[in-house]
Amino acid sequence: MIRRLLLILAVAGVLGAEIVPGRPPTAAEMRLVLSVPVFARWSRIDGIDPSRGFTLVTTTSTETQSFRIKAEYELQRPGKSRVSFLSDAEIYTTTGQAEKAFEGAIRGFRKGLARVEGASLEEKQPILTMGDQHFAGVLKQDGKPLGNLFAFTQGRVLHTLIVYGIVSTRHSQVRELFAPIYDESRRQFH
C-alpha cells in the first residue's frame, strides 16, 4: 500500500507529457536535489550509507523542454520502519512554466492520493515558507502520519520532495532540510 502511494505521488505530476531519458546532470544541477549526506544530518539517523540505496534519474520533457533530476534514497533499518525520500528538481525555460507546473503538481498529488484508499494529505503551509510558491503537507494513511510532501518554485525551478518514515511539522527543521537546495536554486536560476 505504501509503495503504491509513493509511486502514484512520484508520477502524478508528469502524466500527459512525453518523457525521454535526459543527459547526465552537471555538478551544479546535482546540488538542486537533496543529497544523502544532507538527509542523514537532517534526519539524525545513524548509519546511513550514501553508497547504498541511492538512485538518480534524469529526464527531458519533449512538451515543455524541461530538464528533470530525480534523486531517490531508501533505507530499511533492522527492526525499524523504512525511511526514504524522493527529491525532484525540474528546470524550465521560463518562470511562468515553473509556476504552471507547480499548480499542476499540487493538483496531481491530490488526484493521486484520492486513488489510494485511506490516504490523505493534511496541509501545513506554515512549515515551508521559502520560494516564490510553496506547499507543505503531512502524508497520512488511515489517519496515521507517514511522511511529508513539499513543493516550491524558485525562479525557473520546481522542487518537490516526498519524505517517508519521518514526519516534520517544524518550520526550522524544514528550513534546515531545504536550505542547500534553495540557496543553490537562487544562485543558479533567479
pLDDT digits (tens, 9 = 90+) for 99-128: 999 999 999 988 888 888 999 999 998 889
What confidence score (pLDDT) does residue 159 get?
A: 94
Question: Confidence band (pLDDT; 50, 70, 90) for 1?
Answer: very low
pLDDT tens figures, 49-102: 666 666 767 767 666 677 888 888 887 766 777 788 888 999 999 999 999 999
Q: Tell me the pLDDT of the chain averaged across its residues.
A: 81
28: Cβ–Cβ under 8 A, 6 or more apart, which residues? 184, 188
Residue 111: φ, ψ to 5°: -65, -40
Report how far residue 38's alpha carbon sits from residue 28's, in angstroms, rounded to the nearest whole number.
16
At residue 151, does pLDDT exceed 90? yes
CATH class (in words) of the domain with range 2-189: alpha beta
Element (H, E) at 61: strand 54-61
Read off φ and ψ for residue 4, nearest 5 degrees.
-65, -45
Closest CA to 29 of 63, 64, 74, 59: 59
